[in-house]
Structures are given as C-alpha cells and as structure tokens.
Amino acid sequence: MKDNSYQAVMARSNDIMKQAVGIDYTRFVRGRLAFDYQAMMTEAGYSLDEVAAIQQETGVGNTPLYELRNITRLVRLTAPKGKGARIFLKDEAANPSGSFKARRAALSVYHAAKHGYKGVVAATSGNYGAAVASQAAARGLKCIVIQEAFDSRGVYQPEIAEKGRACEAYGAEVLQLSVGPELFYVFLRTLEETGFFNASLYTPFAIAGVETLGWEIARQMREKYQVEPDVVVVTHAGGGNLTGTARGLRKAGCRARVVAASVDLRGLHMASDADFNRKSFTTGHTGFGVPFATWPDRADVPRNAARPLRYMDRYVTVTQGEAFYVTELLAQLEGLERGPAGNISLAAAMALAREMDRDQVVVVQETEYTGAGKHVTAQLSFARQNGIEVRAGDPADSVPGRSIILPEHPGLIRAVDIDLDGLRRSYIKNALAQLDGAELTAADISFLAEDCRCTPEFVQAIAREVK
Amino acid sequence: MANNPVAPGTWVQIRIQILPPGQRAPQVPPDTAQVPLIMLAKGFLVGEAEIGDTVRIKTLSGRILEGELVQVLPRYSHDFGQAVPELLSIGPRVRALLEGGKEQ
C-alpha cells in the first residue's frame, strides 16, 4: 500500500507534478541554474493568436477599457501645476467568473482537455479557483479547488468564503483547509489520487493566457483613444499578472513602463494561524509579491513561467486603507462597484498620476467582481470584529494587522517604492543558495542577469559577497 | 437508535483532521504548529447518520471522502457586513471637492 504520510508524499512531489502538468522541463535546462526561458514560453506555450482564439471559445477577454474622468479630475486637484496624468481602467471584472484569472484558467483547462485529462485541480484561495471552476464547467471537465480558508477557531476570511461559494456555483468540489503551507500536501495527494491535471498558475500556457490582456490594452488605447500608454500599473502577487501583461504589451509594440503594485502587509506571517484573519487582503500583497519576485521557483511547477523581475520597471506599495478608499471612489465617482483586491493598482495609479504630466496616460490593468465577503464594508466590519483599528486619517500611520487608515483626503494616497536592486540582490542570493557550493558557470551568470534585468558584473559582485 | 438521523443523499459537510498538532510541517510558526490541520469538505451523505458520526460522502467530483459529520445543508454565512461610518463620508466629501475645487 502507498505511504501517504506527509514526508512520503512530499518526497514524491516531483513525480506527481510531472504526471499532473505534462511538461518535460528538463528540455529547457542549460546549466545548474540556467534554463532557456524564451524557448520554454514558445515551445510549451501557445502563440498570441492561438490564445485569443481559445479564450474566445469560452467568452474570455475583450473586456472594456474606460477613462476614469472624475478620478483624474480629483487627482489634478491635489497635483502640482501641469501634473495629473489621465487614468484609464481595464474592466477585467467583465470576464466570465469576474476577474482576469479567467484568461489563465482558459488556457489551463483547454490544455488539460486537449491532453485527455478528466479533471483539473487548483490550489488557490483567490479568484483563480472560480476561474478554473468556470472554465472547467464550460469545457465539461471535473474540477477540485483547494483553499486555505479558515483559522483554528473555524473563522473564515469572508473573501475566501465567497470564492469557495463561487467555485461550488460552477459545480466544483471545494476542499477548505485551516491555515498552513501543508495545503500543498493535500494538493499532491489529490492529484495523485485523481490523476487530474494540475491547473497551476505558473505554467507557460497559464502565463501566455495573460498576454492577451497587455495586447488588448495597447490596441484599445490606440483605437479608442489614439494614445500610447506611458505607464501600465499591475497588481502584483505571484508575478503572473505582471509577466503576462508585460509580454503582451511588448508583443503589441507598446513601450509603456510596467509598474507593479502590492498592498503592504509586511510584518504579518503568511503561515501564522493568529495573523490569518488580521489581514484584509488575501492576494495582491507583499506576502506573495516580494517572495515570488525574489525566488519565482517556489511555485508548484519546476520552472515558473512568471518571472516578474524580467519585466518590472518599478515596484510600489500602497496600504490596505488606500485600496479600500479608492474602491469607494471608483463606485462613488465613476459608477463602477468592483472588488477591493482588484483596485490595489488603482490606488498606486492615482499616486503615480499625480507625479506625471497632464498629457501623459496611465492604465490600471484590472478590476475584479464584488459580492458578499469580497467587499469593502464586509472587510472593514470583519477587521473591526478582529480587533483591528479602523479610522480616517493619514494612511502612512497604519500598521498591517493593527490598523487600517482610510485617507482623510485624496492627496494622502501615496505609492511607496520598493528598491529593485535590493530585490535583485535577494533573488541572486536565493539562486546561489541552490548551488550548494558549486561554481557559477558562464551560462548561469548570463541567465541570472537576464532573469533579474541586471549586468553580469552585478551578479558576479554578489556572488563574491556571498563567498 | 438515532434520535435525529440524517437521510442518505443529504447535502452535508464533514471535518477531517489532516495533521495533528505534533506533526505539522517543520517551517510553520509556533502558533500554527500547536493546532491541527483541518479540512472541511461537502458532499452527499452515503448511508444514514447523525451529527458527530464518522461518515462517508460523495463529493461533486464523484469521490468518496470520510470524516466527522458536522453540518447538514451547510449555510453560506458570509455577507456584506455592518455599515462603516468612515466609509459613508467618503463619497460626499470627494464630490464636494470636485464641485468646489479648482485645479492648480
């Protein structure tokens, strides 16, 4: 009989994954650390035209893009003379299942069906679960979604409770777990038992699914508004949204700067039972954004196709209070009631627009659906119940897990920079730790330089420091 | 015999202990290490049972899972929460800014 203990299943992880993703990653290995990223994306992924055709079959993509005229006016009231860029918004909530994640799920589920898998499994507490469940329903596949959902008191994070409900609405089996990284163990056991496809967020095709989003932004801005975006702001967590959007923008010949934005949750431990319900954002935060930027290969596939440092021109954080505040602005000033997590990049965009010239253009590249639990009122009253202070004031004074401060005035929305060289340094150190003392080859050095957008000299300098 | 038997085929929720407190992954922080890893799953009850019994269910993907019966016809209890006064003032204030404000 098979040993299903934690240790035994984790030890079988590589074999289970190989079976469940169907990609031979060894084809792309070029050194101890180096692998051919572009070859992996081309050979194991799908072309932009193929992606668009696959997505069209299940109604994914081609979402509307709006100019936020009133929010732009509000920004200009708080901006120095001549400043205050025009702000546009890509309304990804219009996708089936209500978020841009439908783009990734469309490709995963298509690929699973094409290769004869009877079902798909996704380990996610986020919008991706509903997206996979929705696409699986449309293509007639079975679906299991595994969520980290409640703490040891049995208290659900309201947003995750809602996403679980949505998955069940699409006919998926939902397994809900208490807090802890051992969710991955349950995930592996489920893959092994069912023989279903691993609908990972991080395969080449899942990332290719997001490329249409960047490509549509460039095309819609040109055709509808006759302008080129100067900046595209992307909510950043695992890195797939940023990677796919940036690749799509480039394929459309768009040179916009790509700015990542996360909610600042520094100080909260992501595997802590006690911290779990002290956060009001379950995604788009630094608890994913920083570790995935500094070591993408922590994901559930051997080589992560989401490699955000390759494409990130700038990385900023906003506070929980600022993201909630702009969610209210979007509803009250633009008539668009959307979910708070999708508006993290809108908060950052308002701060960036204030620094930019009036004739410049910034595009916020997503929104998400809203509903019970996934709502500002739901999250703020839940935070209060959990002893978090909620008040109006200067959001700069807030402390994640202790207080949420809604800006007293729109001029108090700020984007705080994370030092990219610091992230590159961490990334290179994490990579070097994989070598177990072996020497860096020339192929590894040039791979690392390309993977975090720095010079080979920068890589070598850090390698010397570590020695 | 059972006082409040739940009929076979009823939509229910079960609770399964995946890992006991002493056997959590080595990297979890102390507060997480001292509690069990619990899983909740839903499905159609196989056979008749009472709350608290160890039962089997058939899930939406057609699998059979075993665990403790904890809820019959489980409720979705998440909602929109209680009104938040600090939120209510945001709309009127920014509208007043737009009406009265001059761009610099």
Instruction: Work out the minimum CA distance from B75 to partner chain A, whole angstroms.
Output: 10
Percent of chain B's residues with pLDDT above 90: 90
Q: Does A150 lie at the interface with B, CB-CB under 8 angstroms?
A: yes
Indicate the SS3 state at residue B59.
Answer: coil
Q: What is the pLDDT of residue A437?
A: 80
Residue of A nearest to B98 (CA): A74
Put simply, the chain A residues between 107 and 126 with a CB less than 8 A from any chain B CB are: 119
| pLDDT over threshold 70, residue B37 | yes
Instruction: Work out the minimum CA distance from B83 to partner chain A, whole angstroms.
Output: 6
Whether residue B31 and residue A274 make contact (CB cut-off 8 A), yes or no, is yes
E strand or H helix that includes residue B56: strand B54-58
Q: How confident is the model at residue B102 (pLDDT cuts 50, 70, 90)?
A: low
Mutate one of B77, B94, B95 to test the A interface: name it (highest A CB count within 10 A): B94
- Tell me the chain B residues in contact with residue A162 when contact means C-beta distances shorter than 8 Å: 78
Q: Does B63 lie at the interface with A, CB-CB under 8 angstroms?
A: yes
Helices marked H in chain B: 30-33, 85-88, 90-100
| Side-chain-side CA neighbours of residue A64 (13 Å) | 6
Task: Produce one character per residue of A44-81: b if its CB has 16 or more CB atoms within 10 Å, e if not.
Answer: bbbebeebbebbeebebbebebbbbebbbbbbbbbbee
Whether residue A182 and residue B98 make contact (CB cut-off 8 A), yes or no, is no
Residue of A nearest to B75 (CA): A165
Are the beta carbons of A209 and A274 closer than 8 angstroms? Answer: no
Indicate the SS3 state at residue B84.
Answer: coil
Alpha carbon distance A230, A228 (integer Å): 6
Instruction: Work out the minimum CA distance from A445 to partner chain B, whole angstroms.
Output: 30
Q: What is the pLDDT of residue A177?
A: 98
Indicate the SS3 state at residue B8.
Answer: coil
Q: How confident is the model at residue B100 (pLDDT cuts 50, 70, 90)?
A: confident
- Tell me the chain B residues in contact with residue A165 when contact means C-beta distances shorter than 8 Å: 76, 78
Q: Which CATH architecture has domain A6-50+99-202?
A: 3-Layer(aba) Sandwich (3.40)
Whether residue A273 and residue B77 make contact (CB cut-off 8 A), yes or no, is no
Residue of B nearest to A81 (CA): B104
pTM: 0.96
Are the beta carbons of A18 and A193 closer than 8 angstroms? Answer: no
Indicate the SS3 state at residue B14.
Answer: strand
Put simply, the chain A residues between 181 and 240 with a CB less than 8 A from any chain B CB are: 181-182, 185-186, 193-194
A56-97+205-417: CATH topology is Rossmann fold (3.40.50)
Q: Considering only CA atoms, give the Rg of chain B.
A: 24
Instruction: Work out the minimum CA distance from B80 to partner chain A, whole angstroms.
Output: 4
Q: How many residue contacts between A and B have a Cβ separation below 8 Å?
A: 166
With a cut of 50, list the residues of chain A below it in pLDDT: none
Whether residue A178 and residue B35 make contact (CB cut-off 8 A), yes or no, is yes
Q: What is the pLDDT of residue A103?
A: 98
Residue-wise pLDDT tens digits, B24-33: 999 999 999 9
Put simply, the chain B residues between 12 and 51 with a CB less than 8 A from any chain A CB are: 18-19, 23-25, 27-29, 31-32, 35-43
- Indicate if A56-97+205-417 has the same CATH topology as A6-50+99-202: yes
Put simply, the chain A residues between 163 and 182 with a CB less than 8 A from any chain B CB are: 165, 168, 171-182
Picking from A73, A173, A269, the nearest residue to B59 by CB comes out as A173
| pLDDT over threshold 70, residue B1 | no
Whether residue A377 and residue B87 make contact (CB cut-off 8 A), yes or no, is yes
Q: How confident is the model at residue B2 (pLDDT cuts 50, 70, 90)?
A: low
Instruction: Work out the minimum CA distance from A371 to partner chain B, whole angstroms.
Output: 8
What does the domain layout of chain A look like in residue ranges? Answer: 6-50+99-202, 56-97+205-417, 424-466
Q: What is the pLDDT of residue A187?
A: 97
Q: Does B89 lie at the interface with A, CB-CB under 8 angstroms?
A: yes
Whether residue A182 and residue B18 make contact (CB cut-off 8 A), yes or no, is yes
Alpha carbon distance A20, B31 (integer Å): 33
Mean pLDDT of B68-95: 96
Whether residue A379 and residue B81 make contact (CB cut-off 8 A), yes or no, is yes
A106: left (phi over 0), alpha (psi -120 to 50) or beta: alpha
Instruction: Work out the minimum CA distance from A242 to partner chain B, whole angstroms.
Output: 29
| ipTM score | 0.95
Residue-wise pLDDT tens digits, A292-330: 999 999 888 889 999 999 999 999 999 999 999 999 999
Whether residue A180 and residue B32 make contact (CB cut-off 8 A), yes or no, is yes
Picking from A273, A384, A410, the nearest residue to B35 by CB comes out as A273
Alpha carbon distance A231, A128 (integer Å): 26
Nearest to A173 by CA among B63, B2, B99, B5: B63
Q: In what order do the strands lie in the sheet with A416-417?
A: A65-67, A86-90, A361-364, A231-235, A257-263, A314-318, A416-417
**Token duo for residue B25:** 């992954």
Q: Does B104 lie at the interface with A, CB-CB under 8 angstroms?
A: yes
